[in-house]
Amino acid sequence: MEQHENAKVVLDGNTFELPIIVGTEGEKGIDISRLRSITNYVTFDHGFGNTSNCASAITYLDGEAGVLRYRGYPIEQLAEQSSFIETAYLLVYGELPTSEQLREFSESFNEPSMLHEDMKNFFNGFPSTAHPMAILASMVCSLSAYYPGIDMMNPTKADFDRIVVMLMSKVRTIAAFAYKKSIGEPFVYPRQDLEYIPNFLNMMFSSPTHQYKIYDEVVQALKVLLILHADHEQNCSTSTVRLVGSSWANLYASITAGICALWGPLHGGANEAVIEMLEQIHKDGGDVDKYINMAKDKSNRFRLMGFGHRVYKSYDPRAKIIKQCAHDLLDKLGINDPLLEIAVKLEEKVLQDSYFAERNLYPNVDFYSGIIYKAIGIPMKMFTVMFSIGRLPGWIAHWKEMMESPGAKIGRPRQIYVGPNIRDYVPITRR
Ligand code: CMC
């Protein structure tokens, strides 16, 4: 990180100098790490909208220009030309693999793809109505009870490499098993002869009486979605993974925390909420104006799901690719989904509406992704699970970067206390 001239802060008549740091894309930040020790002041920043918690070399995002790159590579090029496994390797290890490294990495997913026999019983403990995100989070945390983790006092590369493939491989199996559990069908086991995405589709949709036909178009669409979800720098779930991991909690626990953070409808859960909203509009006769007006009404908590973003103040580059991908897939599969028409109509109206224009609210990654999942046959409750499978390499890459960073510290924000001042305890008999 380059260091430039200092920023000057004047407090109570005294001037303090704070270093300005500059990232490789010219982003500037004021380093306030010594602020409290030299001034006795802290900063106040609801939702961390202006606070960097780390320097990171993983993902670059320019929300004004709609730019997203993993390790310097534009997301558009990766979505079109790379595979999910290659992109995962890039995110975690920092460089694109050679063909030998990619072959080894891909093959290493086979052996750990099964779950411990005892863990399979866990699925029976959940009610059939359980949300698959609850199952996913519980099962990922449970992995720590069955498979050795990383010795946090003496972490080794071999341990880390083993856990990366184990997590990515098992998460896919857990997701498919959670789905099978929810529909009361027997588990379909992973197959060594299938690649990552076809293997997942086979576990999801084959059954003892039916061999699912894996279409290239479906694999391609799912690949694009997984790549586009693979990382997004310091979003809520990734920051959670970093925060939990900063206490040296094991990688399984840190990833579980990320899964839980992702579940919320303001974050990854939005993909499920978008389809619920579009279905509701459809049932209501397709009246998009009614929902636009509801979203603008400040006395109503309703928001247009799949619109807006903390960082993007222009069109989310992922949404652009996913929208096209949704049209292409539905065309190829010959599906006529009225929800896609409603989504397009809603987007058109929103983009012409001054409320949304003034607030820079555009469709985000979650707006069109559910239409693709739906076309593939993935049920709505599984959408955020799909997001988790995609985001896993990003979470792992950030955990690794944090653990390897020489300046890493336990995450521990400050607060401005606004509660009562000191007062004497009054026994209950005298209250
Ligand atoms: N519908 C209507 N109004 C909105 C929306 C929306 N979807 N999003 C933001 N606004 C308004 C908000 O009410 C506020 O208005 P005002 O200035 O009058 O108070 C203004 O826009 C700024 O919103 P904010 O809540 O301060 O912005 P934020 O950066 O804190 O929130 C967000 C970002 C993504 C949580 C929010 O835009 C939102 O709730 N969107 C809907 C949920 C969604 O699609 N989430 C997925 C995000 S992308 C993928 C991911 O992160 O996983």
pLDDT at 3 over 70: no
Tens digits of residue pLDDT in 374-427: 999 999 999 999 999 999 999 999 999 999 998 889 999 999 999 999 999 999
Task: Supply the residue whose CA is at minimum distance from atom 10 of ligand 1.
Answer: 308
Provide the β-strand partners of residue 69.
Answer: 60, 74
Tens digits of residue pLDDT in 305-314: 999 999 999 9
Ligand 1: centre distance to CA 364 (Å) = 10
Ligand 1: centre distance to CA 307 (Å) = 7
SS3 26: coil
Pocket of ligand 1 (CB under 6 A): 47, 235, 266-268, 270, 295, 303-310, 359, 361, 364-366
Q: Which atom of ligand 1 is nearest to the CA of 307?
A: 7
Task: Supply the residue whose CA is at minimum distance from atom 20 of ligand 1.
Answer: 359
pTM listed for this prediction: 0.95
Contact 372, 325 (CB under 8 A): yes
Residue ranges and CATH numbers for the domains of the chain are: 2-67 (2.20.28), 75-404 (1.10.580.10)
Alpha-carbon distance 51 to 57, whole Å?
Answer: 17
Tens digits of residue pLDDT in 330-384: 999 999 999 999 999 999 999 999 999 999 999 999 999 999 999 999 999 999 9
From residue 185, give the alpha-carbon distance in Å to each of 78, 124, 126, 137, 197.
Answer: 36, 12, 14, 21, 20
Mean pLDDT within 223-234: 98
Phi, psi angle pair for 15, to nearest 5°: -100, 130
Between 2 and 343, the higher pLDDT residue: 343
Ligand 1: centre distance to CA 308 (Å) = 5
DSSP-derived pairing of the beta strands 67-70 and 73-74: antiparallel
SS3 103: helix
Among left, alpha and beta (phi > 0; psi -120 to 50; other), residue 400 is alpha
Q: According to the model, what pLDDT value does residue 27 have? A: 93
Residue of 234, 241, 310 best suited for mutating to test ligand 1, as the one with most atoms within 8 Å of CB: 310
Residue of 233, 239, 309 best suited for mutating to test ligand 1, as the one with most atoms within 8 Å of CB: 309
Residue of 45, 305, 307 best suited for mutating to test ligand 1, as the one with most atoms within 8 Å of CB: 307
| Beta-carbon contacts of residue 418 (< 8 Å; ≥ 6 apart) | none
Ligand 1: centre distance to CA 163 (Å) = 35
Ligand 1: centre distance to CA 319 (Å) = 16
Mean pLDDT within 112-138: 91
pLDDT at 2 over 70: no
List, by residue number, the catalytic residues: 309, 366
Q: Which atom of ligand 1 is nearest to the CA of 236?
A: 51
Tens digits of residue pLDDT in 293-308: 999 999 999 999 999 9
Ligand 1: centre distance to CA 309 (Å) = 6
Task: Supply the residue whose CA is at minimum distance from atom 32 of ligand 1.
Answer: 309
Provide the β-strand partners of residue 307.
Answer: 363
pLDDT-based confidence at residue 152 (cuts at 50, 70, 90): confident
Alpha-carbon distance 266 to 263, whole Å?
Answer: 9
Tens digits of residue pLDDT in 162-185: 999 999 999 999 999 999 988 989
Task: Supply the residue whose CA is at minimum distance from atom 15 of ligand 1.
Answer: 359
Task: Supply the residue whose CA is at minimum distance from atom 40 of ligand 1.
Answer: 308
Task: Supply the residue whose CA is at minimum distance from atom 41 of ligand 1.
Answer: 305
Alpha-carbon distance 196 to 258, whole Å?
Answer: 22
pLDDT at 329 over 90: yes
Q: Measured at the alpha carbon of residue 178, what is the angle toward residues 175 and 182, in degrees to the nearest 5? A: 140
Q: According to the model, what pLDDT value does residue 182 have? A: 87
Buried/exposed 365-403: b ≥16 CB within 10 Å, e otherwise? bbbbbbbbbbbbebbbbbbbbbbbbbbbbbbbbbbbbbb
pLDDT-based confidence at residue 289 (cuts at 50, 70, 90): very high
